[in-house]
Homo-oligomer: A and B are copies of this chain.
Amino acid sequence: MADDETPSEHRRGMGTSRLEAFSDGVFAIAITLLVLEIGVPAGSSDDLLGAVADQWPSYLAYLISFSTIGAVWLAHSAITDYLYRANLTLQRLNLLLLLVVAFLPFPTRLVAEYIREGDAERVATTIYGLNLFLVSVLVSVVWRYAVHAKLLRPDADSEEIQVLTRRLTPGLAGYVVLIVLGLFAPTLAVLGYLLIAVYLIVPAWSLRAHRP
Contacts and interface: CB of A to CB of B under 8 A. Distances in A.
A199 to B, nearest CB: 11
28 contacts: A14-B81, A15-B77, A17-B20, A18-B20, A20-B21, A21-B24, A25-B32, A30-B32, A31-B98, A31-B102, A32-B102, A34-B102, A35-B102, A35-B106, A38-B106, A44-B120, A45-B117, A45-B119, A48-B124, A66-B102, A67-B99, A70-B92, A70-B99, A88-B203, A89-B206, A92-B202, A92-B206, A149-B211
| Interface size classification for chain A | 35 or more
A119 B212 contact: no
A124 to B, nearest CB: 6
Nearest to A145: B203
User: Number of copies of this chain in the oligomer?
Assistant: 4
A29 B27 contact: no
Interface in A34-50: 34-36, 38-40, 44-46, 48-49
Contacts of A118: 45
Contact of A22 (B24, B33, B34): B24
Given A14-B81, A66-B99, A95-B70, A206 B88 contact: yes
A201 interface: yes
Interface in A143-196: 149-151, 155
